[in-house]
Structures are given as structure tokens and as C-alpha cells.
Amino acid sequence: MRIEPDVSSSSTGQGMSRRQFARRASLGAVTAGAGWMVPLARASEKDPRRRETRIPLKVGHRAASMKMVGDFDVFKLARQIPGLMGVELQVAGGKPNLRDQDAVRRYKRQANRWGMMIPSLAGVWDRGVSIMRSPAAGANLTQAIRVAEFLGSSVVLVAFFRKNAPDMQDESSHGPVVEVLKQVAPHAADAGVTLGLENSLSPADNKKLVDLVDHPNVKVYYDPHNMAHYGHAAEAIAGIKLLGKSRICQVHVKNKERLIEQPGLVDWPSALQVLNDIGYEGWYVFESTHTDHAQVVEATAKNIEFLRKHCRMPLG
């Protein structure tokens, strides 16, 4: 039987809602858990009294790529990787999964135990459900939003590839997708969650789709590697600037089984430079391919060092 968590926003007794309390606690966890920090700004001529501020580079890893879907020890493994701050969980994948209230609570306890965050949730669709053709799509998204709020996750990844992606030149194709997202977006906003669209569409079509939905809690979960893989290689990096900071909520980083620094479909130094240029300040979540847990730790540590070298957090 599927049980949804109680995610009511009743008062904590401290003058703030439960949701506000969770968000404030999450922010503190980011600051406390950061293995290193990035300078944000020093004293300026306009305000010479301004003290140097530092913010974390937020780096996570997808549980599925760590080969740990349905495994509560995923946070224990993640804790072994210097600089890794969070794990992206699957909603419907694995057993147990996030359709079960007891599993949700246990994941939350384990994340707290190991000082890790859950920045985002993926794998929201039940078997046979897609955003294009399924009446259950809205219900699947709503349930994922409720779980995300309970876990303190700020992004729900909404995936639709190839035959499940709309034709953005045909209103009869993309219209139903826009309608589902418009219906669910207010629920996401109320929960403090952003729906991050990841798909096989071009950057221009993603921009069109997001603009048609026209809601601040519907954005793009950008994956430059996927852009290249699905036939948009020439636009993979330029698409970052096209979409801009206002339309990108989170970024997947991967290079198949290779390290990010090695040659692949994406020129990652260039991609990260454009993300710097637009002022991107969200999470970078690895979706690398790994052979075993030891290799997860070794490769991810090297990939985080690569991000440290190339990412520059925006000035305030």
C-alpha cells in the first residue's frame, strides 16, 4: 500500500512554518557540511566595510549512478567522498522506494545521520506513466512534490525523452504537457520545490516549453551531455546562455565512465565557464557511470577537484 508522508506546514512553535524551519535547517546544513567554500565578495569601493562572504559549491551525486537505488547506506558511502554534500534519490525506483512512508522517514534519518542533503528527487514516474500520454502524470508529480518537501529537496526532476517528449512545433503535442505542468506548478511553489525538466528537446525548445508554462517553479534541469547525446551537440554549451540563470534550476554532470576532465561529448571547462558567466549558483549533480563503490569514491573525488578548479560562484 502506498502511503504519502504528512507534509503539512503547521507551526513549529517558533514563529515559523514547518516548511520554513526545514529550509532554514537545510541552509545551515549546507554551510556546516561544506568541505570547502568559495569566496563570494570582498570589500568594495562602494562599501569598504563589507566583509568577505563565502558560499559553498553545492555538489551531489545521483544514487542510481552510485549503484545504490533502494539502499539506505547510500549516504554512508557519499560521506566518504570529500566535498560531496548530497545525494539525488529515486522516487519510484528500487525497493524500498519513496512511495512508502517508512522508507521516506528512514532515508531522512540516514541523511541526517551522515550529514548529507537530498537536493533533488528523480525517477518520479510509475511503470508505464509518461508526461505525454498518461492521466496519472499529474498524480505522480504531486506525490513526488510532497515527498520532496518532507525531505527538504528543492528540485523534482521531470524526465521525458524521445517518444515521450512533445513536438514543440505542434500545439496538439505540447499543449497537454504545458497543461499538466501548469496544474502542478502551484503545488510545487507551495512546497518550495522547483520542477526541473530534463528531456531530449533542444535548448530552444526547452526555452519555449518553460516560457509557455510561465511559472517560476518550472525550469530546466540542464544536462549538457544529454543535449549532445540527443542530437544537439552544437547547442549543448550555447544553450546554457540561451536559457540563462532564470530558467536553469540544476545541472547534471557526467562523461559516461570517464572522468569529467577526460575527452568526451562535452567540453566541460567551456560549459562550466558559461555557467559561471550566467551566474549559476545551484547544485551540480554527478550522473557518472561507475563499476563499483570503491570506484565511485575515487572517481567522484577527482571529479569534485575538477569542479573546484573550474567553477566560480557569482558575486553578490
pLDDT tens digits for 51-83? 444 467 999 999 999 999 999 999 999 999 999
Q: Kindly state the cell numbers that stand for 56.
A: 559553498
19-50: pLDDT as tens digits: 544 444 444 444 434 444 444 444 444 554 44
Distance from C-alpha of 184 to C-alpha of 221, rounded to nearest angstrom: 17
- Residues 179-198 pLDDT 10s: 999 999 999 999 999 999 99
**120-122 and 155-160 as β-strands: parallel, antiparallel, unpaired?**
parallel
Q: What is the mean pLDDT of residues 237-244?
A: 98
In this prediction, residue 258 carries a pLDDT of 97
Q: Report DSSP state, residue 211.
A: H
Q: Which residues of 60-85 are buried (b: 16+ CB within 10 A; e: fewer)?
A: bbbbbbbbbbbeeebbebbeebebbb
Higher pLDDT, 15 or 250: 250
Give the closest residue to 55 by CA, choosing from 272, 250, 314: 314
Find the mean pLDDT for residues 116-120.
Answer: 98
pLDDT at 99: 96
Instruction: Classify strands 218-222 and 194-199 as parallel, antiparallel or unpaired.
Output: parallel
Q: Is 94 left (phi over 0), alpha (psi -120 to 50) or beta?
A: left
| pLDDT tens for each residue of 204-228 | 999 999 999 999 999 999 999 999 9
Name the residue with higher pLDDT: 238 or 13. Answer: 238
pLDDT at 312: 83
In this prediction the pTM is: 0.85
Domains and CATH numbers, the chain: 18-37+54-310 (3.20.20.150)
Compute CA distances 199 → 5, 203, 206, 248, 270, whole Å.
28, 10, 8, 13, 22
pLDDT of residue 133: 84
Query: Is the pLDDT higher at 44 or at 100?
Result: 100
The mean of the pLDDT values for the chain is 87
Assess whether pLDDT exceeds 90 at residue 247.
yes
pLDDT score, position 1? 37
Task: Give the residue among 94, 82, 161, 159 at the shortest CA–CA distance from 120.
Answer: 159
Q: Which amino acid is at 280?
A: Y
Instruction: Say what the pLDDT of residue 17 is.
Output: 46
State the pLDDT at residue 291. Answer: 94
CA Rg, the chain, in Å? 19
Higher pLDDT, 3 or 113: 113
